[in-house]
Amino acid sequence: MAELQNDRYLKALMQQPVDRTPVWMMRQAGRYLPEYRATRAIAGDFVSLMKNPELACEVTMQPLRRYPIDAAILFSDILTIPDAMGLGLYFETGEGPRFKSPIRTQADLDKIGVIDPEVELRYVMDTVRTIRKELNGKVPLIGFSGSPWTLATYMVEGGSTKTFSKIKGMMYSEPKMMHQLLDKVADSVTSYLNAQIAAGAQSVMIFDTWGGVLTPRDYKDFSLNYMSKIIDGLTRENEGRKVPVTLFTKNGGQWLEMMAETGCDALGLDWTINIAEAKRRVGDKVALQGNMDPAMLYAKPERIQQEVKTILADYGDSGTGHVFNLGHGITPDVSPENAGVFFESVVEYSPAFHKQKP
């Protein structure tokens, strides 16, 4: 594999000194870019794009050609695992993801097994290998998965939900069955992330999009415990360097201390918590990633610049251990120019926070 030319992102996750704060953006390969929309049109639809390693590599590279980004993230979807388990993923226009065969009964659950990522999800591993080759050491590649709780939410609900009635109904009325499902999904996520690492991912991230809908006790029992189990089973060193792990629970700001105890290297923060407060609470136990409100990208350039400066100042003088990002994914109707202001502002203003003190 080619020597890594820019390892700011990996160093920041390990809380090592860097010359400036590294930056990337959740959903940086996405619909806000005209070149992405053109590539998706060639593929035909989102699923076809995701399952085509060459085209998935192309959209992964597109934002790196435009902006000064310090990491590429695999172009894929969190729902690849339930799809590989045979639930039949499809997308309804304007309604998001759907599953033909949701898990509602013990018989449904008994039908699914732990996936072999190099078999059922070979297209993802081929995409990872293709991207690593194309990157040629320019920046690190991030692999990812949804958390077991988040994946189970889609698997039981059969798609997106606002009420979480089916998944919470199963959790409260059939807790044993819920834990069986989460166990199978956690084992699949562990092997999926390890396969991504073996294929060339240099860091991995677990997206717990729906952990924040749980009570504190249920979060610990039904979400955090399974993410902790995954972290314990991950390959933590490859190609002679450590493979850092980032944990992100949306609306999980109240549980940062518990999350930091899992053995992860970094916590992703959404925009509902001040980064200075988060840093005070976790100390130097983990690095922090975040956490600008994605809606800030609708503001005028001067306001975006001001917000970047504020977050950098809130994180503080050491600067060490901070990866700049949005608090969630960029939305499709943001202008590419405003995204550019975001990236360029981090590059311009963050070096001042990395001056070595005498």
pLDDT tens digits, residue range 108-118? 999 999 999 99
What average pLDDT does this structure show over 252-275?
Answer: 98
Looking at every residue in the chain, the average pLDDT score rounds to: 96
**308 pLDDT exceeds 70?**
yes
Whether residue 163 has pLDDT greater than 70:
yes
pLDDT computed for residue 94 by the predictor: 74
Q: Is 36 one of the annotated active-site residues of the chain?
A: no
Confidence (pLDDT) at 93:
74
Does 263 score more than 70 pLDDT?
yes
Tell me the two tokens of residue 252. Answer: 């999980």
Confidence of residue 357 (pLDDT cuts 50, 70, 90): low
pLDDT at 358: 44
Mean pLDDT to the nearest integer, 196-218: 98
Predicted confidence band of residue 96 (pLDDT cuts 50, 70, 90) = confident
Q: Is 127 assigned a ligand-binding role in the annotation?
A: no
Known binding residue 29? Answer is yes
From 27, 66, 104, 303, active-site residue: 27
Q: Where are the domains of the chain?
A: 36-279
Catalytic one of 154, 192, 315, 349? 154
Give catalytic status of residue 154 as yes or no.
Answer: yes
pTM for the model: 0.97
Alpha helices per DSSP H over the chain? 8-13, 34-43, 46-50, 53-66, 80-82, 106-111, 122-135, 148-157, 165-173, 175-199, 216-218, 225-233, 256-260, 275-282, 301-315, 336-349
| pLDDT, mean of residues 323-335 | 98
For the question of residue 31 being annotated catalytic, the response is yes
Instruction: Specify the CATH architecture of the domain 36-279.
Output: Alpha-Beta Barrel (3.20)
> Taking 90 as the threshold, does the pLDDT of residue 2 lie above it?
no
